[in-house]
Amino acid sequence: MPLPKLQRFSTSAGTKEVRFLYDYSWPDEVPEARIRSASFDDTLYMQLGAGEWLVRLAGVLRPIVQQRWASFVADRSRDVVDVAYLDDFLFGSTRASLARVRAPLLDAQGGSCFYCGMPARPSGAEVEVTGFEPAISTTPT
């Protein structure tokens, strides 16, 4: 149950909890059987401004989350994934915008969606990479 503990801080007077990101309804220590119960309310209630706090803490949180996720994947995929390159595979590649190829792709596809063949609106069309080639698809409305 790490969630209740993530908003605790050590002070000279002891440990203090400040629910600045989220609130929750369960007590601090909950038996595992109760957590697994279908009636257990595990809802997190995001506080107003929590997104801003997450952005401020991203420099600290992101490396921890990425390391833990890579460990999780590695533990379950040792026979499939080269663990030495896992972190780079999961987080190393940068995403390049394909917006500048939208118009030429629409033209090459005759203004139609790659998947359904329906006419694609230029403003509602998404560039996707299908296999090795980019394609235009319409977004759901």
Give the domain ranges of the chain.
1-47, 62-94, 99-138
The C-alpha atoms of residue 106 and residue 121 are separated, in whole angstroms, by 9
Contacts of 124 (CB under 8 A, 6+ apart): 138, 139, 141
pTM: 0.41
pLDDT in tens, 61-74: 888 888 888 888 88
Assess contact for 135 and 113: CB atoms under 8 A. Answer: no
Residue carrying structure tokens 């803490």: 57
Give per-residue pLDDT as tens, 76-117. 877 777 767 777 777 776 666 677 888 888 888 888 877 778
